[in-house]
Amino acid sequence: MNIQGENKTQNRILSLLPLWIVIGIFMIGPLLVMAAVSLMESNVYGGVHFKFSLSGYRQILFDTNLFDEIQFNPAYMIIIARSFVLALAATFLSLLIGFPAAYYISRQSNRVKNILIFLVTIPFWTNLLIRTFAWIIILGKGGVIESSFNFFGLLDKESSLNLMYTNTAILIGLVYSYLPLMVLPIYASLEKMDVRLLEAATDLYSSRIELIRKIIFPLSMPGIIGGSILVFVPCLGAFIAPDLLGGGKKLLLGSLIQFQFSYARNWPFGAAMAMFLLALVIIILIFNAKLNRRHREYEAQR
Amino acid sequence: MENNNKVNAINVKNVTKIYKTANAETRALKNANLTIFDNEFFTLLGPSGCGKTTLLRLIAGFEDITEGSINLFDEEIVNLPPNKRSVNTVFQQYALFPHLDVFENVAFGLRRLNKDKNFVDKRTFEVLELVQMQDYGKRKPNQLSGGQQQRVALARALAPSPKVLLLDEPLSALDLKLRQAMRYELKTLQRETGITFVFVTHDQEEALTMSDRIAVINEGEIQQIGEPEEIYESPNNKFVANFIGEANLLTGICERNGENGLCKLDAGQEVSMFIPNHINKGETVTIFIRPERIKIKKSDKEKSNCTISHFTYLGNAASILLNSNNKSINVNLPIEDVKNFKNGDFVEVVFPSNSAQVID
């Protein structure tokens, strides 16, 4: 028994080894490199100067003026706040659209269900960049939306709806990009739900609204929370939709970091921002875990 | 019991239910008619897929009716959604709300009815006490045993004081001992609360021990409605005879009809019994007799008319399979009557008069 048990542990370690190697090389490694870079200085040629420095982090809040005095610079905080608000809005919108969609799919017959879930995952087959370009055609001047407005006489030929390069356009792009990540986890939790619970609730005098509020919503909470995190976190760091649909007019966190690495060639600052974003995400996850636990304790206490 | 001064709780009139799928339709219920009286423990009994659960779900409102009408205390309920019908259901797998504790599960219906908070608390506690679960109010359903979940499901359905309680095979998920104990509890509960129970089961023993009346259903058709004794002693047809308890269905030829009729079995024996007058002499009849109504006595090879092919010891009784001219007869006798019988013995079988009846 004992030997078998030891063998089992050994087997488990062995069989997980490839996974650990992949995660180690492709996730933890780069992350450590970034953490290291964020603690160095940039040199004038756009490379990294191997010397410990907190200048990358300092730059998030302060900059140096002409007289070499350090002063508070809110510009990046504004970018972070804007990213936060946009990500929250995108998450909320995704939930608003994703929940009914997931519920609808979960109530179909098995065959239809599979087809619909398949359709939800289809966008993943094409590169996000290309799909986001498609939105330019839809939203842009003389695009699909404007020309149909023209067609129905709701808009005259000369004027424009000015949809592109606005926060709205970014929001549409974000919701579009990450909606499936909201639908799938909610669908998974709704799918597991026993139909008889709905029957029981209706039998016990629940109206339609009470059915949603008292049974469907609480029972799909794990899916809602999971989906919200899956949408919120990438939205916070997104740069494709903000760049293409927002025109880079108003910088967001993701675009800012990408900019530091590509054009500005200030790797330490870019890395510091990335670390800052990572910390933000970790804080949110911890907060969410706490919330979950408290919710569970509260439920248990009642 | 006479039916004149009884109040009709549920009236099922010409109810047909057809399930349509893309390429087939299934007739789950065919023109069902029955009346369930107020204060009655009424059982819908039948094999799985016979339509008994469909009928229950039609009463609860979970299924749309294809044809016919259902009245609840003389009010037509066919067009009402489930949340507008004052009937409540105990589900087969309980269907307790996993995110709510026992108290909230039981209070659920009362809260939806917007009852006053004090009343909800009082009534919920009262019902929990009734099923002896008052100490488990704060537990979650997954922290309860099967039997406890069963009680909570019962309490939840009883809390809003429904006019009729519907029970869909509520005991089938429990183990045997618990199931037997719950039978008496359910029956007692029904008597104490005075609520009409409509109980669905495929277990004939359950039906016989608990019910005031039983409806036997097969293939979407009601075969017989009656008190347990009536159903057991004089089944309407072969299906009922076979489904409730054990039955010998033997064929023979009518020798004489009427009150002192006589039937000569294919197996060789003569049975004196009532044979309706529409059956003429010489006609083939099927007769029905319960295994415990048949007597056997030891005999020698010449006089005997059958042999014991299987002797099964059951503790308090013995089940004996007789072979008579290659026809089998099933006999069930108290153990002290058959102490020294064994396989291969020659016996004489005796059908006491009027222990058998003609069956369709």
The ipTM is 0.83
Question: Residue A220's closest chain B neighbor by CA?
Answer: B99
> What are the strands of the beta sheet with B270-275, ordered from one edge?
B270-275, B258-265, B248-256, B284-289, B357-358
How many beta-carbon contacts under 8 Å exist across A and B?
A: 68
CB B324 within 8 A of CB B349: yes
Closest CA to A270 of A249, A255, A280: A255
A5 within domain boundaries: no
Rounded distance, CA A116 to CA A45, Å?
52
Judged by average pLDDT, the poorest of A69-78, B63-72, B75-84 is: A69-78
Question: Would an 8 Å CB–CB cutoff place A302 in contact with chain B?
Answer: yes
Q: Using the beta-carbon criterion (under 8 Å), do B101 and A299 form an inter-chain contact? A: yes
What whole-number distance in Å separates Cα of residue A93 and Cα of residue A74?
28
User: Does residue A300 form part of some domain?
Assistant: no
State how far the Cα of B15 lies from the Cα of A26, in Å rounded to an integer.
Answer: 66
Average pLDDT estimate for B335-342: 84
Q: Is A222 on the interface with B (CB under 8 A)?
A: no
| Predicted local distance difference test score (pLDDT) of residue A302 | 44
Residue carrying structure tokens 């675009």? A255
Q: B117 CA to chain A: closest CA distance, Å?
A: 16
* Cβ contact B83–A205 (<8 Å): yes
Closest approach of chain B CAs to the CA of A208, in angstroms?
A: 10
Measured CA distances, A252 to A225, A249, A258 (Å): 24, 9, 10
Distance of CA A249 to the CA centre of its chain: 21
The whole-number pLDDT of residue B124 equals 96
**In-domain check, residue A254:** yes
Q: What's this model's pTM, rounded to 2 decimal places?
A: 0.80
Distance between CA atoms of B147 and B351, rounded to whole angstroms? 44
Q: Is A219 within 8 Å of B99 when comparing Cβ atoms?
A: yes
* Residue B97 confidence class, pLDDT cut points 50, 70, 90: very high
Q: Give me A79's structure tokens.
A: 């970018």
Q: Where are the beta strands (DSSP E) in chain A?
A: 41-42, 48-49, 62-64, 70-72
* Chain position carrying tokens 């109010």: B137
What stretches of chain B adopt beta strand conformation (E)? Answer: 8-20, 25-37, 41-45, 67-72, 75-76, 87-90, 164-168, 196-201, 213-218, 221-226, 248-256, 258-265, 270-275, 284-289, 295-298, 306-313, 317-324, 327-334, 346-350, 357-358
Integer CA distances (angstroms), B97 to A142, A199, A211, B141, in order: 53, 11, 12, 7
CA atoms within 13 Å, Cβ hemisphere of A97? 17
Average pLDDT over residues B273-285: 90
Q: Do B83 and A199 touch (CB under 8 A)?
A: no
Residue A198 lies in a domain: yes
- A281 vs A47, A229, A232, A237, B21, CA distance in Å? 28, 9, 9, 10, 49
The alpha-carbon gap from B28 to the nearest alpha carbon of chain A, in Å, equals: 20
Cβ separation B113–A205 shorter than 8 A: yes
Q: Could you read off the pLDDT of B22-54 as tens digits, one per residue?
A: 788 888 999 999 999 999 999 999 999 899 999
Q: Please, which residues have CB within 8 angstroms of residue A171's CB and are 6 or more apart in sequence?
A: A86, A89, A90, A93
Contact B97 A205 (CB under 8 A): no
Out of B95, B113, B160, the one facing A197 most closely (by C-beta) is B95
- For residue A132, what is the domain's CATH number? 1.10.3720.10
Find the distance separating the first CA and the last CA of chain B, reported in whole Å.
Answer: 26
- Torsion angles phi and psi, residue B208, rounded to 5: -65, -40
Chain A residues 280-299 with a CB less than 8 Å from chain B: 299
How far does the CA of residue B110 sit from the closest CA of chain A (Å)? Answer: 8
* Nearest-by-Cβ selection for B91 from A196, A205, A219: A196
- For residue B73, CA distances in Å to A152, B38, B162, B200, B343 come to 58, 8, 12, 20, 58
- Separation CA A275–CA A281 (nearest Å): 10
Contact B93 A202 (CB under 8 A): no
| A123 domain residue, yes or no | yes
* CA distance linking residue B202 with residue A220, whole number of Å: 35
List CB contacts (< 8 A) between A196 and chain B.
91, 93, 95
Question: How close is the nearest chain A Cα to the Cα of B64, in Å?
Answer: 14
Q: How far is B173 from chain A (nearest CA, A)?
A: 16
On whether any CB of chain B is under 8 Å from the CB of A219, the answer is yes
Do A79 and A256 meet the contact criterion of CB atoms below 8 Å apart? Answer: yes
Quick one: pLDDT at residue B95?
93
**Is residue B7 a contact partner of residue B36, using CB atoms and an 8 Å limit?**
no
Output the pLDDT for position B81: 94
CA distance B125 to B132: 10
Structure tokens at B199: 């109980």
Determine the residue of chain A that is closest to B88 in CA distance.
A203
Give the span between the Cα atoms of A247 and A241, in whole angstroms. 9
Q: Domain span at residue A184? A: 74-265
Q: Per-residue pLDDT for B1 more than 50? A: no
The answer to whether position A226 is within a domain reads: yes
Contact (CB<8Å) B83/A215:
no
Mean residue pLDDT across chain B: 91
Q: Would you say residue A26 lies in a domain?
A: no
pLDDT along chain A (302 residues), means of 10: 66 87 90 90 78 85 80 87 92 96 92 94 87 88 83 76 84 93 94 91 94 91 90 89 81 87 87 91 86 65 46
- Give the dihedral of Cα atoms B141, B147, B150, B151; nearest 10 deg: -90
User: Number of structural domains, chain A?
Assistant: 1
Strand partners, B329: B322
Q: How many CB atoms lie within 10 A of CB B242?
A: 14
d(CA A68, CA A232): 39
- How many alpha carbons lie under 13 Å from residue B166 in its C-beta half-sphere? 26
Residue-by-residue DSSP string for A253-266:
HHHHHHHHHHTS--
Q: How far is CA B289 from CA A6, B246, B248, in A?
A: 65, 9, 5
pLDDT of the residue at A164: 83
> What's the pLDDT at A287?
85
Closest residue by Cα to residue B35 from B16, B2, B67, B7: B7
* A193 contact B CB<8A: no
**Minimal Cβ distance to B83: which of A194, A197, A207:** A207
Which residues partner with B213 through β-bridges?
B42
Mean pLDDT of all residues in B200-208: 93
Q: Coil, strand or helix: which one is A170? A: helix
Give the pLDDT of residue A158. Answer: 72
Chain A residues with CB under 8 Å of B154 CB are none
In tens, the pLDDT along B212-261 reads 999 999 999 999 999 999 999 999 999 999 999 889 999 999 999 888 89
Counting every residue written for chain A, the total comes to 302
Tens-place pLDDT, residues B151-177 = 999 999 999 999 999 999 999 888 888
Closest-CA distance of chain A to residue B220, Å: 23
Domains, in order of start, for chain B: 8-243 (3.40.50.300), 248-358 (2.40.50.140)
C-alpha dihedral over A268, A270, A275, A277, to 10 degrees?
160
| Pick from B60, B96, B98: CB nearest A203 | B60
Query: Using the beta-carbon criterion (under 8 Å), do B99 and A199 form an inter-chain contact?
Result: no
Give the minimum alpha-carbon distance from A193 to chain B in angstroms, rounded to a whole number: 10
Query: B165's torsion region: left (phi>0), alpha (psi -120 to 50) or beta?
Result: beta
Q: Which residues of A fall within a CB distance of 8 Å from B96? A: 200
| Interface residue of A204, A212, A298 to substitute, partner B, most B CBs within 10 Å | A204
Average pLDDT over residues B292-311: 85
- Is residue A290 in a domain? no
Q: Which residues of B touch A199 (CB under 8 A)?
A: 60, 62, 82, 89, 91, 95
CB contacts of A218 in chain B (<8 Å) are 99
